[in-house]
Structure 1
């Protein structure tokens, strides 16, 4: 399907609604824990575990789900994900025990793992050129916009309608999504090799990611210099090495490392990892605002509101920049602007009113940069991948987002925690400025691997396409 044609907008809306089932509705639980605890009578620890499970299971299964979508069909896996979303939501609505609650959240995580790479693959296989870039912009609206508004929307629904209505509405949105994409074409991959699933690779990879998730989410509580944390870090390194040793000689690798031979893809994925690390510094600013400035959680949330709206506006601007000047310039500019914006929140020496103005402006500026970066980055990642590998490539790209945010969160909060005892204002300032290191790494990978005319139908773009086709041909 090309850039135009009857039903195109309908498909885009359906895909965006599918993405919102996770980013807007499943993620709303992060802001309704007190209400759920009072209503269900379960422990706070159980609710915290169930809240984090969705992101954990999504991260664990997103790459394998991407690979399955390549083999079994992208539309089919999107429907599987949407059906799992309905099951998880129904279980949450009817939940009365910790077991049901935790199981439901795990199912929602697997649902997200299916939907994210499969919908990106559907865009790649059903849209071309500017049409694809436009569809990716709206996909980004769903993920970035949904994630940015989840606390506000979830809180409002829980306050005025009851928390169960969040998941009732989610089911309605899911059914609407399924209806809107029912006619989208499922393009079969004729030349994909039928191979046994790489269970050993998947198991080793799952263990490695699980350990990394424990480190980034619990490292601060364990203590970064504790024997437990050091042992976990050693375990993560050892498991990763074992994974590479076991996988490198296999023909049916769980993660197809050959796609990283495409430089534009490598530049996009790695810069996406570090860009999410930049954004993670928002947690330090929010924590500092509440601890040192006496802000409420609602007030710190309002400080970041401009970030969400700037992202939503700039996503389409980034798309237009991509079409006029290629991907490299908006990606580089986006990282620089996002870094400047986040760094503005490090001005902790300012008095309250001045700090509020500067921090709000900083988050707004960061949103401009993130929005500018989003569509060029995603388009660069999936446009250069052979059709039979788009699913797994999309899964790796989204996994890089989650791991980058977790990595940035662990590093910045660790720096903040170490310096906290001496001076909270200095601790917050340095913790935030760590984002500059992430930015430098992102800029290096963009400069080295992303072509100047990536995203344009020009010579450089054509050469990259030919390289992509050659890679696919060499493996068949």
Structure 2
């Protein structure tokens, strides 16, 4: 019987700045350009649907894209990325990390083209298809490029490459709302996606000709179709509940039924993957404590994007600020995360991953706490928000490189793509689920408030927005709990020294 043990392909190629720039540009196509859709959604609706039929109520008689459909278009990209990123990472291990990275950039171009041409009667299908393809693009690019970093860089060189990769992802997300707002205002929202096409093409040119990196299989390997199908059904059911639960009704049979499907599906998935000879989510990787701590805390800290979304809506709905003015307050988030990511790299080199990950998470927790006094006057709260957003970026900057390097360093070479896919799946699903829960809490309590918050905080200024202010506090408490659990997971799983990836101890 032929052996089925995978063997890493050998190469003498070493990573260089040309390849690294191509990798970073590929990562940016999702985090910076595709990620700006949430900011420009109102501009998209106004341009495609035309003038309001009822300007006072801001509604259209026959919209080509409804607000609910636009919300789906915003969220579907992260959803598709999260669902398929592990599959794409596994494919990258088998058929080539460079090939999958190039495929991801090609999909990015296709998705952006569909969005650019979204107009008239086909506006909605082209918009949804384009956003879904952008999600598939991210699912290909993120694990494949991380695996290339793992393969072609070592030691301090890899840590620098991880920092650059993190600037593309975390830094891109920090600039997305600002870029989207200003490009949509001065040039039109379609130019965001035209620029994305150009950036993807540059990424392809820079990565073209890179020696292939893949795992040589000594025998046939079956595709884990049952595991994939169960995973997709479970995650789709969960996200429908989180995103549309308030519309459908939290107690409706449909919502409860979907919730049961999600829970049963996740339980069944664990059983299937444990018994599968070739699981698409390799649960054996979680035997390594450091990889587990990095992945779990990555999921939870990415979920704190809900903090940003809730407070941005609070500033607009309760404070009456313009979207552009509220978005400008997040400038410190983008500046600190880009400026201090290399500091996180230096902290990793000096202290190892554990302490910087804890410090970064703790700073994120302080940011959440600073946003909780929603009882203040708008002028006072704006200053709290400016400081909190900057600290949010600083905390993520300290956390990003140590966490990513800890995950990569503890992956076996033949599992680099699959493991990177799991780590980045935690990012995408953490963002999607954290944002959905935070917004669901904020929306559900926005019309009724939370009296126990009023018993603690005495509101100043207007009284017609108290319910929204109290709802925001409850949503922020949820985000703070995620930070606490993230710190606990790091302390329990990430040792002070480095692990030997071959032992999993």
Alignment TM-score, normalising by the size of structure 1: 0.90
Instruction: Specify the alignment match of 1:429 in structure 2.
Output: 473
Contact 1:307/1:364 (<8 A) preserved: yes
Contact 1:126/1:185 (<8 A) preserved: no
Contact 1:382/1:394 (<8 A) preserved: yes
Find out whether 1:303 has 2:329 as its counterpart.
yes
Question: How far is 1:191 from its partner?
Answer: 5.2
Instruction: Specify the alignment match of 1:465 in structure 2.
Output: 501
Contact 2:238/2:262 (<8 A) preserved: yes
Contact 2:80/2:135 (<8 A) preserved: yes
Matched residue SS, 1:465: coil
Q: Assess, with a 3 A threshold, how the Cα gap between structure 1 residues 299 and 222 changes in structure 2: closer, same or farther.
A: farther
TM-superposition CA deviations, 1:243-275 (whole Å, max 9, x none)? 222332111112111111111000100111111
Instruction: Specify the alignment match of 1:51 in structure 2.
Output: 74
Q: Assess, with a 3 A threshold, how the Cα gap between structure 1 residues 284 and 395 changes in structure 2: closer, same or farther.
A: same
1:69 to 92, 110, 113: 92
Instruction: Specify the alignment match of 2:178 in structure 1.
Output: 152
Contact 1:86/1:171 (<8 A) preserved: yes
Where do 5+ consecutive residues of structure 2 fail to align?
Answer: 1-12, 50-63, 450-465
Find out whether 1:452 has 2:501 as its counterpart.
no
**Which piece of structure 1 moves more, 218-227 or 139-148?**
218-227
CA distance in 1: counterparts of 2:472 and 2:118, whole angstroms: 40
Higher helix share: 1
Matched residue SS, 1:467: coil
TM-superposition CA deviations, 1:442-461 (whole Å, max 9, x none)? 1111111112023xxxxxx4
Q: Assess, with a 3 A threshold, how the Cα gap between structure 1 residues 329 and 381 changes in structure 2: closer, same or farther.
A: same
1:442 to 443, 463, 486: 486
Instruction: Specify the alignment match of 1:384 in structure 2.
Output: 410
CA distance in 2: counterparts of 1:252 and 1:299, whole angstroms: 51
2:206 to 176, 180, 185: 180
Contact 2:291/2:406 (<8 A) preserved: yes
Map 1:81-120 onto structure 2 (within 5 A).
81-96=104-119, 97=122, 98-120=124-146
Question: How far is 1:154 from its partner?
Answer: 2.6
2:35 to 22, 27, 34: 27
Q: Assess, with a 3 A threshold, how the Cα gap between structure 1 residues 387 and 296 changes in structure 2: closer, same or farther.
A: same
1:18 to 26, 45, 52: 26
Matched residue SS, 1:452: coil
Q: Assess, with a 3 A threshold, how the Cα gap between structure 1 residues 33 and 253 changes in structure 2: closer, same or farther.
A: same
Contact 1:318/1:373 (<8 A) preserved: yes
CA distance in 2: counterparts of 1:107 and 1:159, whole angstroms: 26
Contact 1:32/1:158 (<8 A) preserved: yes
Matched residue SS, 2:275: coil
Contact 1:327/1:377 (<8 A) preserved: yes
Contact 1:35/1:163 (<8 A) preserved: yes
Q: Give the root-mean-square deviation of aligned CA atoms.
A: 2.3
2:44 to 22, 27, 36: 36
CA distance in 2: counterparts of 1:172 and 1:415, whole angstroms: 39
**Which piece of structure 1 moves more, 417-426 or 261-270?**
417-426
**Which piece of structure 1 moves more, 150-159 or 310-319?**
150-159
2:16 to 5, 8, 11: 8
Alignment TM-score, normalising by the size of structure 2: 0.85
CA distance in 1: counterparts of 2:260 and 2:390, whole angstroms: 39
TM-superposition CA deviations, 1:175-229 (whole Å, max 9, x none)? 2111112243323323565301111111111111111221222223334344332
Matched residue SS, 1:289: helix
Contact 1:216/1:409 (<8 A) preserved: no
1:331 to 316, 335, 357: 357
CA distance in 2: counterparts of 1:453 and 1:398, whole angstroms: 23
Map 1:133-212 onto structure 2 (within 5 A).
133-190=159-216, 194-212=220-238
1:322 to 348, 369, 375: 348
**Which piece of structure 1 moves more, 347-356 or 134-143?**
347-356
Contact 1:58/1:112 (<8 A) preserved: yes
Contact 2:358/2:490 (<8 A) preserved: yes
Find out whether 1:280 has 2:316 as its counterpart.
no
